[in-house]
Structures are given as C-alpha cells and as structure tokens.
C-alpha cells in the first residue's frame, strides 16, 4: 500500500522533497520541575490520552516518572512528577516503563533484574492518569517484557530462561507460572532475544535475535504453557557479511519484519507465512554508505520509529539528529527510499515514537517535549518566476512594498532607489511583465534629493487610488481602472515644521472603511488624515497624542496594528502599547495604554503587531514568541488564547521580518536569518508551519531581505519583494500536489 496521507515531519529544505511531503514544526513545551532529561522510556495508555515518561530532573541524576495529559491539540500538561526519592525502594536504576493492556497498572523495570526491588508495580487512576506505588518485588529482564492480549500472562526472561508470569488483574502482582531453559529445539539462546511481539490470533510469541539474524514463533496454549517452537533463519546468502542487524520492527499482524543495523545503511524487509512458520519473501533496500562525518564510531543507527498506517520507518543515527526516512509498502511493495530528509530532533536520546494519529513525539536534551504533527493535504507553493528585469533591461532595485489591483493584473512595486514600477501579471500563470516606470524629480520642492525613494503602497479596495509613501511626503495617485495607469493628484507633507533634526514618513495605513489614512513619522508622531472617497484626496484632521513625551520611533508598519472597526494599537519601545479608537466626527481618541501583559508575554520585548481581521485576533511578537489574543470590539478587551514560537523543522527559532501576511487559513512571512518564505497554516485553533521556500542553489539570494508580501486576489499567487536581492519572486499555489519549490 503506497503512502496516501501526508506526514509533515520532514525538512523545511525546499527542493529535496518529493511532491508528497510538506514540512511542519508544531510546538514545544518546557515543563519546569519535571523529569525530562535523560529520558529512557515512554509509554501511553491505550487511548493515548496520557503520556508516562521515565527521565531525570534538571538538578539531579536521580530518575523520576512524569505523567502528562496528551490532548489532541496543544501542548501536554504535567499532572504528576513522581520522584524516586519519595520511596525507600526508589526508582534508582529504573530502565523501562510498561503499561498493562487494561491500563490499570504501570510496571517499572530496573536495569539490574536481580535486585530485590527489581520491578515496581504502580496502580493507575483512569480518571486523571496519576499513578501510585503499590508493590515492589524481584525483577525480570527489562529487555523482554510482553503481555498477552488478555493481560493475564507476561513473557519475559530470568537468568537465561524464558519465563511465563501470571498477573493478578486486580493488584497487578506477578508470579512465575512456567520456566523454560534453552534446549536443542530452540534456534538460539533465550538471552539473545532482543525483540518480541505477541500475536493474539495465533497465540504465538514472535521473537528476534540479531546474533545470527534468527526468528522464531513460540506457540502457547491458553494457560500460557509453551507447546512448540518454529525456527526461521534468514538465508545468509542474502545478508552482507558483518552486517549487524540490531534494529527490528514488527507489523501489527507479525507478517512483515523490518531490520536495520550497521555498518551499511541497509533496510531488510522480511515477509512471513505464520501458518507455515517460514520466510516467504525478502527485500533489501540500500540507502548508500554512511556519511562518515564523525568516523566509523558514529556511523550506526541507534534506534528506529515505525508507523505502519503511514508506511514510514525512521532510522536515527548516533550523534546525528536527522534520521533516514523510508517508505514501506504492505505487502511486497517497498517504495523508493528517501534518506536524510532533514527532520531533526534536538537531542540524541533513545526515545522517539509515533502516536496512532501520526503525531511524532521526541524528547531532546533540553528538558522539553517536542511534538511534530501531521496535517491534512492543502495547497503548497512553488516558485514560478523571479522578476528582475524590464523589457528595457532595467533592474528592479530594492523592492520595499507591493500592491495588486482588484483585477489581479496590475502590480505596483515600490523601490528604494529607482522609483515606482508598474507591472502586469497573468492571473493564471502568475508571470509578470513590465508596463511602466515612474520616478520623481530631484528638487527641494519635491522633498529633497532622496525623494525618488518609494517605501510603502496602499491601494483602495475599489482600485481607483494608490497612496505612496515618499520620504517626507505622501503622494496620492489616481489609477485608471482598466489600463492601470497612474496620475498624480495630490502631494501631502506631514504637518510639522522642518527642523534641524531630520524626520520622514515611516509608515502609513488606510483604515478598513477607507475613510482615514494614518501616518507615522520617524519620531513616533501619528497624523490622521480624512479621505474623500470620491476624489481620493487627503485632509489633515488631527495629530494623535500617545500621552507621554518620549519620542519613540515607529520603525515600520509592523510597529502598529489596525482592527477592522478602527481601533489602532501602537507599540512603543518603552514596552507600552497605546490604543486609539475612531469615534465618528469626533475623530480619534486615546482609549487605553497596556503596560502589563499576562504570562508568558514579555512586554518590554514587544516589537511587532499584526491583526488577523478574518479571525478578529491581535498577534504580538516579542523576541521569544508570538502571542495571539482575541479582540472584543464591543468591550475593547483582549483575551490571550495562544503563545507559540516560530521554529523550523530542526526546532531552530525563526525571526519573522516586517509584517505578517494573512490570507484565509495561511500566514506568510519572511525571515531575518535565512533567505526564505515561510507558510503557516491555521486550523482548529492550531498554527502549523507547513512550508519553507528557499533560494535556488543555482541563484544568488533571490529572497534575501524580504520587505513585502502580497496575494493576488484573482490567481492566488504570492508575490515576494526582496530588497537586498533586488528581485520580486512569484509563488504559485500547487493545489495540494506541490512540485519542488526550487528552480
């Protein structure tokens, strides 16, 4: 069965993925006080509502057990942190957790099975998931500890013997029932078994020994008594000499077995006939040699993670957080392998596993839980054009802003050093062609020798007027709605006397009802202009007073946010956010100042504001996280609903630059650190990074210094203006079947 669902674990490295994959980095959660360092074992209940983690605390090497809720969305919540020091018998040397099939008991297995308290039995509260120590007794081998389907028998080892234990379903206590030594009929010593799985339909235990790559089916009756053994050995002619296949994964029905090891990146697929007790098919997939970046000592797999329904096998390497990823088909249909896909953990523990719903859970060496999530298929984006030259061989230098007309054809590009460009876009293909080039005179009357700089554009909803930020002035241009041609009808300067200290228009915005234009200067002053909807002309109405004397610069359009009901949020470097509200003919009035924010908002670090009009939510960015608030326009109140980090698939932080672009369920933004465009998807209250679009390896930084993002209202293409790269890149939606995002 070929993979039919998209798994979004994989890298944000565009151009290396097949069309079936798009990346995601979900969320991470620090749980202070929990035992999340040195994690060695993790279990969930059958419903996957609770997560049980065996690890160590921040300040101690002594182990403890954490209990977390595991909601379908959002971060896990710590409900219990049980320290081994609380009990004289303790959890010292604890190695593995196992939950009984009925979810009533949690078993803690020690590394030293011969200790008097080598196993701990904990009762489990089904209402809140909490556990309580009930019994400590003689231990058993932590490597093999398998329940039957009824949960009343346990198969394990003790002193080299195969042991069948009887479990009391009420107390959870275990008592020996049968003991079997290694005999001539067994294909290998019981001590060599490393993997085992109970097959309820056949009442068999399937076991694997890597010593000679041996398999066996051990038959039991209903009482748990061994009635026979069927040995299966892989033909050594199919194996590479010296290949140590220490890693094994079984399918649920036991008919497919996956083996891997070292020194080569080989995946073996074995298919079994359980009735005959025979291997009926054998496949080998060679992923090529290890990278040898750290010497042969590092060139080996440490552990694996397998999700049968998704058909994915992840193989993790020593001191390398990026796994090999292989698609597995059932039965007899191995897909082409995909290796070094780029998904990375932030640590090197032996615990990484899938939940049934496709989420992937890992525990990096940072005292954290990282969960990467699967998403439903959706449109991704690919590069269709890099617009750089006009027909007259003129280069578009330094695009700072973009505006697209309602017809989806006329595109206006503001540049920092070569005026204003008018291009035409094909709404179907997204291709741009040059139409016109506008520059301004270099005269004092026009505002100085820098007056040909264009920094920001605002186009009215009806497409009739274009407002251009032009150093000290705002230019009002009338647009021909068919041809897209522009004509200057007004030039407005800020109503301040020219001073020795230089000032300029830093940003401006039209209100949602288009009756006002608000402008911000380089000293933090705010000017409100009334706009005539018929002529498009601006009339100075008032200056907005923040209520304090500090002249704090408004650096760009990301320093303020405007709601659709004309409430303005302005962020100052003092850590204050000032609210202004438009009250009809009375104009704009300061209605509040926010100086304190709920945890975890870092008020002094706030540096960007955005408003998602579709959801009525205010987004605040500090230097650590993004915080989302529901805005109640009637009560003029904000309610904190979410905080998250912008991170890539390696869980490295991303610092968005400028304003965010909201488009239905997608959020687009550029990055300070990398020449990339990131696509965030919003669904069911969750925000998931689904794509990163990078520069082509054959091009030189086409996406460096992203200043502007705009969506074509007709074709849905996303235009990206990169100031440092001096290019406009066109991204087209692929409607769920994305091709490579690089040229």
Greater pLDDT, 695 or 500: 695
The number of angstroms, rounded, from the C-alpha of 596 to the middle of its chain's C-alpha atoms is 29
Q: Of the ranges 301-315, 471-485, 682-696, which one carries the lowest mean pLDDT score? A: 682-696
Whether residue 381 has pLDDT greater than 80:
no
Name residue 709's beta-bridge partners. Answer: 720
Q: DSSP assignment, residue 603? A: G
- Angle subtended at Cα 109 by Cα 217 and Cα 135, rounded to the nearest 5 degrees: 115
Collapse the DSSP code of 353 into the 3-class scheme (helix H, G, I; strand E, B; otherwise coil) and give the result: strand
What is the distance between the alpha carbons of residues 652 and 344, in angstroms, rounded to a whole number? 10
**Which residue shows structure tokens 């036991």?**
254
How many other CB atoms are found less than 10 A from the CB of residue 610? 24
Instruction: Determine the average pLDDT of the residues in 540-561.
Output: 74
Who contacts 627 (Cβ-Cβ below 8 Å, separation ≥6)? 597, 600, 601, 619, 620, 621, 640, 642, 643
Would you call 536 exposed, middle or buried from its count of C-beta atoms within 10 A (0-12, 13-18, 19+)?
Answer: buried
Given a cut of 60, whether residue 2 has pLDDT beyond it is no
Find the helix or strand (DSSP H, E) in which 51 lies: strand 50-56
CB 40 within 8 A of CB 55: yes
Tell me, what's the pLDDT at 132?
92
- pLDDT of residue 530 exceeding 90, the answer is yes
* Helix (H/G/I), strand (E/B), else coil: 33: coil
Domains (range + CATH), the chain: 381-733 (2.130.10.10)
pLDDT, the chain, mean: 77
Looking at residue 604, its pLDDT comes to: 61
Residue 501, pLDDT score:
52
Q: Is 17 helix (H, G, I), strand (E, B) or coil?
A: coil
Residue 26, SS3?
Answer: coil
Find the radius of gyration of the CA atoms of the chain. 32
Does residue 475 or residue 438 have the better pLDDT?
475
**Reduced DSSP (H G I as helix, E B as strand, rest coil) percent helix, strand, coil of the chain, to 5:** 0, 45, 50
Using a 10 angstrom Cβ sphere, with 0-12 exposed, 13-18 middle and 19 or more buried, the burial of residue 555 is middle
Lowest mean per-residue pLDDT among 137-146, 200-209, 220-229, 558-567: 137-146
Residue 433 structure tokens: 């062609």
Strand order from edge to edge, sheet including 204-209: 195-199, 204-209, 214-220, 226-233
Give the global pTM: 0.57
3-class SS letters over 68-133: EECCCCCCCEEEEEEEHHHCCCCCCCEEEEEECCCCCEEEEEECCCCCCCCEEEEEECCCCCCEEE
């Amino acid at each position: 069965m070929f993979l039919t669902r998209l798994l979004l674990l994989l890298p944000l490295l565009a151009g290396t993925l097949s069309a079936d994959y798009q990346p995601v980095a979900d969320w991470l959660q620090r749980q202070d006080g929990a035992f999340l360092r040195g994690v060695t074992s993790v279990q969930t209940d059958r419903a996957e509502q609770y997560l049980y983690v065996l690890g160590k605390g921040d300040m101690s090497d002594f182990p403890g057990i954490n209990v977390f809720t595991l909601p379908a969305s959002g971060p896990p919540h710590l409900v219990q942190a049980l320290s081994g020091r609380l009990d004289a018998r303790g959890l010292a040397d604890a190695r593995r957790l196992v939950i009984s099939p009925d979810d009533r008991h949690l078993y803690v297995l020690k590394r030293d099975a011969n200790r008097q308290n080598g196993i701990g039995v904990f009762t489990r509260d089904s209402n809140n998931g909490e556990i309580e120590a009930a019994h400590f007794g003689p231990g058993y081998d932590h490597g093999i500890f398998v329940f039957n389907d009824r949960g009343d028998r346990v198969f394990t080892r003790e002193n080299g013997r195969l042991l069948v234990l009887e479990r009391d379903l009420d107390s959870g206590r275990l008592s020996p029932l049968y003991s079997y030594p290694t005999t001539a009929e067994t294909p290998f010593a019981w001590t060599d078994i490393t993997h085992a799985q109970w097959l309820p339909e056949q009442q068999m235990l399937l076991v694997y020994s890597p010593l000679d790559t041996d398999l066996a089916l051990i038959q039991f009756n209903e009482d748990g008594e061994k009635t026979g053994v069927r040995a299966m050995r892989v033909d050594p002619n199919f194996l590479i000499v010296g290949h140590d296949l220490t890693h094994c994964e079984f399918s649920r029905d036991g008919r497919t077995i996956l083996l891997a090891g070292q020194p080569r990146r080989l995946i073996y697929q074995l298919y079994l006939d359980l009735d005959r007790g025979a291997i009926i098919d054998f496949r080998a997939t060679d992923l090529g040699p290890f990278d040898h970046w750290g010497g042969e000592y590092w060139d080996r797999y440490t552990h694996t993670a397998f999700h049968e329904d998704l058909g994915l096998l992840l193989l993790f390497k020593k001191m390398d957080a990026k796994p090999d990823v292989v698609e597995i088909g059932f039965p007899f249909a191995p897909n082409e392998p995909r290796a070094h896909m780029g998904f990375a953990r932030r640590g090197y523990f032996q615990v990484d596993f899938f939940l049934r719903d496709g989420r992937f859970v890992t525990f990096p060496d940072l005292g954290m839980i990282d969960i990467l999530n699967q998403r439903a298929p959706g449109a991704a984006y690919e590069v269709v054009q890099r617009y750089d030259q006009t027909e007259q061989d003129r280069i578009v230098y330094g695009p700072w802003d973009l505006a697209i007309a309602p017809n989806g054809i006329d595109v206006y590009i503001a540049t920092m050093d070569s005026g204003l460009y008018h291009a035409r876009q094909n709404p179907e293909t997204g291709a741009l062609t040059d139409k016109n080039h506008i520059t301004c005179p270099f005269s004092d009357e026009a505002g100085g020798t820098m007056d040909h700089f264009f920094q920001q554009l605002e186009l009215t909803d009806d497409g009739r007027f274009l407002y251009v930020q032009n150093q000290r002035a705002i230019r009002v241009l009338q647009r021909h709605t068919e041809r897209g041609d522009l004509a200057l009808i007004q030039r407005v300067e800020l109503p301040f006397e020219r001073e020795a200290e230089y000032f300029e228009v830093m940003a401006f915005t039209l209100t949602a009802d288009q009756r006002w234009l608000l402008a911000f200067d380089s000293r933090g002053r705010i000017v409100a202009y009334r706009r005539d909807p018929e002529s498009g002309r601006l009339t100075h109405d008032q200056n907005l007073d923040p209520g304090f004397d500090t002249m704090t610069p408004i650096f760009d359009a990301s320093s303020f946010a405007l709601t659709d009901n004309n409430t303005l949020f302005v962020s100052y470097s003092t850590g204050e956010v000032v609210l202004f509200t438009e009250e009809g003919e009375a104009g704009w009035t300061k209605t509040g100042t926010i100086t304190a924010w709920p945890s975890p908002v870092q008020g002094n670090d706030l540096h960007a504001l955005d408003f998602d009009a579709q959801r009525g939510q205010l987004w605040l960015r500090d230097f650590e996280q993004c915080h989302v608030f529901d805005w109640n326009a009637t009560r003029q109140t904000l309610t904190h609903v979410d905080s998250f980090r912008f991170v890539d698939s390696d869980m490295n932080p991303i610092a968005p630059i400028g304003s965010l672009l909201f488009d239905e369920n997608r959020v687009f933004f550029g990055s300070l650190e990398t020449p990339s465009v990131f696509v965030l998807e919003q669904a069911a209250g969750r925000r998931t990074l689904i794509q990163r679009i990078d520069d082509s390896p054959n091009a030189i930084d086409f996406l460096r210094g992203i200043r502007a993002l705009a969506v074509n209202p007709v074709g849905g293409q996303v235009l990206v203006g990169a100031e440092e790269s001096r290019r406009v890149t066109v991204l087209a939606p692929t409607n769920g079947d994305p091709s490579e995002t690089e040229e």
